[in-house]
Amino acid sequence: MAKASENLDSFRSEARSWLETNFPRSLVGRASEYMVVEGEVRIEGDALAWRQALASKGWGTPTWPREYGGGGLSQLEARVLQEEMSSVGAFNPIPLLAGMGVTMVGPTILEYGTEDQKQRHLPGIASGEIRWCLGYSEPNAGSDLASLQTRAEDKGDYWEINGQKVWTSGADISDWCGALVRTDSKVAKRDGISFVMLTMKQPGVRTRPIRLISGASPFCETYFDNARAEKTDLLGKLNDGWTVGKRLLQHERASQTGGNPAAGGRAESLQDMAKRYVGADEAGRLSDPDLRIRIANHLMSAKAHNLTLARIAAEARGKASVTAAASILKNSATNVAQTRSELTLEIMGHQGVGWEGEEFTGQEKETVKTWLFGKAMSIYGGSFEVQNNIISKNILGLPETTQKG
């Protein structure tokens, strides 16, 4: 145990020294600039140099194998790296630049991909140069995803894809798409689905952004009209896409439970923000006792969520099986995030509902948009109700009451 601790201390010193040399101080507090929702992705100057430095070191995807562009770090080393990045205001932009690549597609390729697929696709994700989206939901196949109708027809040396996807996050700015398609319509609906990867830069793919109440939106409608996917880009076995797709969704839900993967820096605490807007009493406590209690309850819920996340991650280490734990964490993360947005809005009062104008700070104008967009957390990645069904059946052992596909 002492040896392991010494190794972590040595790694901490290495990480601290590397960050001191490579992280541009001009980027402190600018992580949000990488959160591209729509439009052209442009990374220049110090931001480009920082992305390239992370990619060269492999620390954009710190736990991925080095041969695929990762850092080859252990989970404990990756945690130390994140701590050291946060301490100097640094952040990891690569998960944001890669779209769905780092958090979902990449881990799934690592598990199900051929060596050729890993060599061709993972380095571009790990460097943040190739952006991915996912073709899952369809107009008539949302929570009942197994009813999907986008089809892939075998054309000998490639798949010809026709159909429509919806809520395809980042489709209009992505380079590649991982899609669930129907490859056999004569069997039970879950048994005729395959997972294919295809380039978005081809004539057979069209996208149309969907506007949201919060303003800018990452969501798109995506149309495949005789689009092409190479035979070498079938991920997993033919007609076993349901298994691959479920595993990817587990990665998605896990990615939604621990906060922003690019997060770094020293954000103002909710309690300090409350004192700044609401005021403090003579004892230095928040002057509104009811708000004080609700903030304390929220902070305890957030702490409990983070501890549960760490416990489940430790229990699952080295196991690749699909479990319902991600559903628990997804709903817990949703509750924590939405409660924080509600409290922030209340703390700021009328300053928290400003949409534009010089009388509002940038943070205040983002607050209402974050609050509105956060409502989608209860829906995307599997709705709150669907997660509760999974928890009730797979963890609590309650009987199946829904129609089986």
**Which residues contact residue 180 at a Cβ distance below 8 angstroms, ignoring those fewer than 6 apart?**
135, 136, 145, 148, 150, 193, 194, 195, 241, 242, 245
Report DSSP letters for 213-261, one per residue: TTBS---EEEEEEEEEEEGGGEESSTT-HHHHHHHHHHHHHHHTSS--T
**Which residues contact residue 286 at a Cβ distance below 8 angstroms, ignoring those fewer than 6 apart?**
271, 274, 275, 278, 279, 280, 292, 295
CA–CA gap between residue 205 and residue 164 (Å, rounded): 10
Going from the C-alpha of 147 to that of each of 182, 348, 379, the distances in angstroms are 9, 44, 18
CB 198 within 8 A of CB 135: no
How many CA atoms does the CB half-sphere of 65 hold within 13 Å? Answer: 11
**Which residues partner with 226 through β-bridges?**
none
CB 134 within 8 A of CB 171: no
Name the token pair of 348: 């700021």
CA–CA gap between residue 173 and residue 196 (Å, rounded): 19
Tokens 């509104």 belong to 288
Contacts of residues 208-216 at CB distance under 8 Å and 24 or more positions apart, as own/partner, are 208/172, 209/38, 209/172, 210/166, 210/167, 212/372, 212/373, 212/376, 213/372, 214/369, 214/370, 214/372, 214/373, 215/369, 216/37, 216/38
132-246: CATH topology: Butyryl-CoA Dehydrogenase, subunit A; domain 2 (2.40.110)
CA–CA gap between residue 222 and residue 216 (Å, rounded): 17
Q: Which residues of the chain have pLDDT under 50?
A: 1, 259-263, 265, 405
CATH number of 268-394: 1.20.140.10
2-126: CATH topology: Butyryl-Coa Dehydrogenase, subunit A; domain 1 (1.10.540)
CA–CA gap between residue 369 and residue 131 (Å, rounded): 24
What percent of the chain is predicted at pLDDT more than 70?
87
- For residues 96, 98, 102, 108, the Cα torsion angle rounded to the nearest 10 degrees is 140
Residues in the chain: 405
Which residues belong to CATH 1.10.540.10 in the chain?
A: 2-126
Q: What is the pLDDT of residue 388?
A: 87
Cite the active site residues: 252
Q: What is the pLDDT of residue 405?
A: 44
Q: What is the pLDDT of residue 370?
A: 83
CA–CA gap between residue 269 and residue 340 (Å, rounded): 11
Closest CA to 106 of 120, 125, 119, 92: 125
CA-only gyration radius of the chain, Å: 22
Q: What is the pLDDT of residue 265?
A: 46
Which residues belong to CATH 1.20.140.10 in the chain?
A: 268-394
DSSP class of residue 141 equals B
| Burial track 145-170 (b if 16+ CB lie within 10 A, e otherwise) | bbebebbbeeeeebbbbbbbbbbbbb
CA–CA gap between residue 152 and residue 360 (Å, rounded): 50
Q: Residues 78-125: pLDDT tens digits?
A: 989 999 998 998 999 999 899 999 999 999 999 999 999 999 999 999
- Specify the 3-state DSSP secondary structure of 179: strand
How many CA atoms does the CB half-sphere of 330 hold within 13 Å? Answer: 28
